[in-house]
Amino acid sequence: MEELKKGLSFELELSKEIKEKFYYVDRDPISGQRLFFDNAGGSFRLKSAVAKQSELEAFPDCPERTHDLSVYLQKIKKQGEDDIRIILNSGERGSIITSLTASQAMFQMIGTIAENVSGNNMITTVLEHPSAFDAVDYYARKTGRELRVANSNVESGKVEVEDIIKLIDKDTVLLSVMHASNFTGAVFDIEEMVKRARAIKPDLFIVVDAVQHAPHGIIDLQKTPIDGINFGPYKFFGCRGSGIGYVSDRVSALTHHKLIEKENEVWALGTPTPSQFSAITAIVDYVCWIGERFATSLDRRELFVEGMTHIKLHERALLNRLLEGSPHVEGLRKLKNVTVYADNKDLSERDLIVGIKFDNMDCAAAAKEYEKKSVIVAPRLRSSMYARRMLESFDIVDGVLRVSPLHCHTFKDIDKFLMITKEIACSK
CB 362 within 8 A of CB 398: yes
Residue 276 Cβ, how far from ligand PLP at the closest point, in Å?
13
Residue 164 Cβ, how far from ligand PLP at the closest point, in Å?
17
Give the nearer residue to ligand PLP in terms of CB position, either 79 or 101.
101
Give the nearer residue to ligand PLP in terms of CB position, either 210 or 308.
210
The helix or strand, by DSSP H or E, that contains position 48, with its residue range, turns out to be helix 47-57
Give the nearer residue to ligand PLP in terms of CB position, either 105 or 290.
105
Residue 80 Cβ, how far from ligand PLP at the closest point, in Å?
17
Euclidean distance between CA atoms 64 and 67, whole angstroms:
9
Hey, which residues between 43 and 82 contact ligand PLP (CB under 6 A)?
none
Q: What is the DSSP letter of 349?
A: G
- 89 to 128: interface string for ligand PLP, x by CB under 6 A: ------------xxx-------------------------
Give the nearer residue to ligand PLP in terms of CB position, either 133 or 358.
133
Q: Coil, strand or helix: which one is 334?
A: coil
Binds ligand PLP by CB under 6 A, chosen from 21, 129, 350, 407: 129
Closest CA to 239 of 42, 59, 78: 42
Residue 102 Cβ, how far from ligand PLP at the closest point, in Å?
4
351 lies in the binding site for ligand PLP (CB under 6 A)? no
Q: What is the largest CA-CA distance in the chain?
A: 68
Length of the chain: 428
Give the nearer residue to ligand PLP in terms of CB position, either 182 or 309.
182
178 lies in the binding site for ligand PLP (CB under 6 A)? yes
CB 226 within 8 A of CB 248: yes
Binds ligand PLP by CB under 6 A, chosen from 98, 172, 184, 212: 212
Residue 240 Cβ, how far from ligand PLP at the closest point, in Å?
8
Give the nearer residue to ligand PLP in terms of CB position, either 164 or 335.
164
Residue 99 Cβ, how far from ligand PLP at the closest point, in Å?
9
Give the nearer residue to ligand PLP in terms of CB position, either 239 or 338.
239
Q: What is the DSSP letter of 18?
A: H
Residue 37 Cβ, how far from ligand PLP at the closest point, in Å?
16
The helix or strand, by DSSP H or E, that contains position 122, with its residue range, turns out to be strand 121-125
Closest CA to 186 of 225, 231, 153: 153
Residue 159 Cβ, how far from ligand PLP at the closest point, in Å?
13
Residue 182 Cβ, how far from ligand PLP at the closest point, in Å?
4
Give the nearer residue to ligand PLP in terms of CB position, either 290 or 342.
342
> What sign does the dihedral 67-72-77-82 (CA atoms) show?
positive
Give the nearer residue to ligand PLP in terms of CB position, either 106 or 317.
106
Binds ligand PLP by CB under 6 A, chosen from 95, 124, 131, 344: 131
Give the nearer residue to ligand PLP in terms of CB position, either 361 or 387.
387
The phi, psi pair for 383, rounded to 5°, reads -70, -10
217 lies in the binding site for ligand PLP (CB under 6 A)? no
Give the nearer residue to ligand PLP in terms of CB position, either 130 or 225.
130
Instruction: Please work out, in degrees rounded to the nearest 5, the angle formed at the alpha carbon of residue 299 by the alpha carbons of 295 and 301.
Output: 90
Q: What is the DSSP letter of 186?
A: B
Euclidean distance between CA atoms 295 and 308, whole angstroms:
12
Beta bridge partners of 397: none
Euclidean distance between CA atoms 41 and 54, whole angstroms:
22
Half-sphere exposure of 377 (CA within 13 A, CB side): 31
Beta bridge partners of 177: 208
Residue 209 Cβ, how far from ligand PLP at the closest point, in Å?
5
Euclidean distance between CA atoms 387 and 81, whole angstroms:
33
Closest CA to 224 of 414, 416, 90: 90
Closest CA to 254 of 310, 174, 197, 315: 174
Residue 186 Cβ, how far from ligand PLP at the closest point, in Å?
12
360 lies in the binding site for ligand PLP (CB under 6 A)? no
| CB neighbour list of residue 103: distance below 8 Å, 6 or more residues apart | 129, 130, 131, 135, 243
Hey, which residues between 224 and 253 contact ligand PLP (CB under 6 A)?
232, 243
211 lies in the binding site for ligand PLP (CB under 6 A)? yes
> Could you list the residues that contact ligand PLP (CB under 6 A)?
101-103, 129, 131, 178, 182, 209, 211-212, 232, 243
